[in-house]
Amino acid sequence: MGDCEPSALVQRDGGPCCVIAPVQAYLLKILLAESPAHSFNELTADKCKTLLIQAVCQILVKCKTDAYRIVTLEGEGHEQAGPSGDPTAVRQDDGTEHKPSEEPVGPGVDTHDAAMVRPSTVQRTAGSSTTASWTAEAFHERIRFREHAHIDQVHQFYAQNYHVLTDECGVLLLLYTVLQTKGLEHILSEMSDPTESLIHDTYGCGSQALINLMLTGRAVPHVWDNEQDVGGMKLKGINQQSDIGFITVMEQLQYCTVGFFYKNPKNPVWVMGSDTHLTVLFSHERRLVSPETPGELARRVFRQFDPDGSNFIPGPVLQDVLCALELLMRSRLDPENLGIILLNAFMSEFFPDEKKSTPDTFDLLHYNGIPNSNYGSMVQYSRGQAVLLESDVRMCNPSDPMLTCLQTKWPTIEVNWAGNRTPSLN
């Protein structure tokens, strides 16, 4: 087995996958648009550095409310970019500039980051001795904020201060940056229960609201489409087709219902949820994410008025369904709200020349950032060939969480994984 994938983020401990997996998903979205599969292993460190910064910036664009608020650490061992503009030159606390040392990194620093670039040495000193871990007080005392109005400025900052992302506290600093860029008041307004924690107190895993914030820019707590009325309460879900998808084994266990917007994203990349971990599924087959057809739109609207999933609605509700469908179709046929419907738009919507459909076979790749969950303890993209069977009979296998999760999206799927090794969701 070779080295880790150059473009793969490596997760050392449990918990931060709610930040790491969405960043990896956006990184893969960018990579799929730029590179063929065979070139993944040929990526340079500089290219992977750029991919990581681009992925972070795309997430922040979705979260921005009024300004980008970048959270950094200042103090001993953490530097600022030097005024020279040299992306490798940094400013120390005493105002002097230097280039990062090529000496081995300090204890506790992960040497495998996304770009396989050596992160800055993390020194945490108390007097003359180096401490083994952060305390909450020491960490928060060194927090600093810097505001930027434009995403280009954010990109430039991270390019000149790459260690902010790759040092030991990089995941936490990025999480704080997302929260500050979104704004805590806006986050609380989108959550159904403002008292619910975004991170589990005991296990340190992220809530669904935090996962949704990282993927869509909205901290809504549910994965269904739009809002659902449950006992008189309006519970918020995903309000539009997402750039990155989400599927979860928990749906098969009937703990939740993932809507069309998440199952059918704009790009063939899905974050996959188990009961304890997040991983990423992706494919080079663009036909897996073809635009929503009129039939799919009608089915989605129908389900909004069938909250129990019984596949029927009372007769008097039909008028509401048709009105909702008309409004949606009008917005699709007249997106600029000109008050007219063009013949070409009408014909292409209802009578397309080519019927877009999911192919019967396609490639799938899977990322799990925990080394011990990978063959040979090296983070590699697992590769598989998927087949959609003609039978309507679903092959259930409770001992195969991967297949169980995939069937929530493709009910008749079978996958032949390379080496006959099914990748782990945990």
What pLDDT, in 10s, does the model give residues 163-212?
999 988 899 999 999 999 999 999 999 998 878 888 877 667 889 999 99
Per-residue model confidence (pLDDT) at position 201: 73
User: For 32-46, 77-91, 138-152, 229-243, which range has the lowest pLDDT when averaged over its residues?
Assistant: 77-91
Examine residue 425 and state whether it is found in any structural domain, yes or no.
no
**Number of domain units in the chain:** 2
Examine residue 3 and state whether it is found in any structural domain, yes or no.
no
Examine residue 96 and state whether it is found in any structural domain, yes or no.
no
Q: Catalytic residue at 48?
A: no
Residues 264, 313 share a domain: no
Is 253:323 a contact under the CB 8 Å cutoff?
no
Residue 351 pLDDT grade (very low, low, confident, very high; cuts 50, 70, 90): low
Q: Catalytic residue at 148?
A: no
Token pair 């008189």 is found at 232
Residue 372 pLDDT grade (very low, low, confident, very high; cuts 50, 70, 90): very high
Closest residue by Cα to residue 21 from 267, 275, 367, 384: 367
Residue 408 pLDDT grade (very low, low, confident, very high; cuts 50, 70, 90): very high
Residue 378 pLDDT grade (very low, low, confident, very high; cuts 50, 70, 90): very high
Residues 268, 396 share a domain: yes
Residues 332, 211 share a domain: no
Residues 251, 305 share a domain: no
Examine residue 191 and state whether it is found in any structural domain, yes or no.
yes
Query: Quick one: CA dihedral 406, 412, 418, 424, positive or negative?
Result: positive
Report whether pLDDT(234) > 90: no
Instruction: For residue 367, give every residue at least 6 positions away whose Cβ sits within 8 Å of its Cβ, in sequence order, or none.
Output: 5, 8, 24, 28, 279, 280, 281, 282, 379, 381, 382
Residues 392, 314 share a domain: no
Residues 286, 298 share a domain: no
Report whether pLDDT(100) > 90: no
Domain membership of residue 44 as a residue range? 17-65+183-290+357-417
Residues 240, 365 share a domain: yes
* pTM for this model (two decimals): 0.77
Q: What is the CATH number of the domain that holds 335?
A: 1.10.238.10
Residue 101 pLDDT grade (very low, low, confident, very high; cuts 50, 70, 90): very low
Residues 299, 284 share a domain: no
Closest residue by Cα to residue 322 from 305, 343, 337, 341: 305
Report whether pLDDT(239) > 70: yes
Residues 409, 329 share a domain: no
Per-residue model confidence (pLDDT) at position 230: 79
Residue 319 pLDDT grade (very low, low, confident, very high; cuts 50, 70, 90): confident
Examine residue 162 and state whether it is found in any structural domain, yes or no.
no
Amino acid in the structure at residue 315: G
Q: 78, 148, 277, 366: which one is catalytic?
A: 277
Q: pLDDT above 90 covers what percent of the chain? A: 50
Residue 386 pLDDT grade (very low, low, confident, very high; cuts 50, 70, 90): very high
Domain boundary among 321, 351, 381: 351
Examine residue 154 and state whether it is found in any structural domain, yes or no.
no
Residues 198, 249 share a domain: yes
Residues 336, 247 share a domain: no
Q: 17, 18, 63, 169: which one is catalytic?
A: 17
Residues 326, 234 share a domain: no
103-116 pLDDT, tens per residue?
333 333 333 333 33
Residue 426 pLDDT grade (very low, low, confident, very high; cuts 50, 70, 90): very high
What average pLDDT is seen over the chain?
81
Instruction: For residue 167, give every residue at least 6 positions away whose Cβ sits within 8 Å of its Cβ, in sequence order, or none.
Output: 73, 78, 109, 119, 120, 122
Q: pLDDT above 70 covers what percent of the chain? A: 77
Per-residue model confidence (pLDDT) at position 305: 77
Per-residue model confidence (pLDDT) at position 40: 87
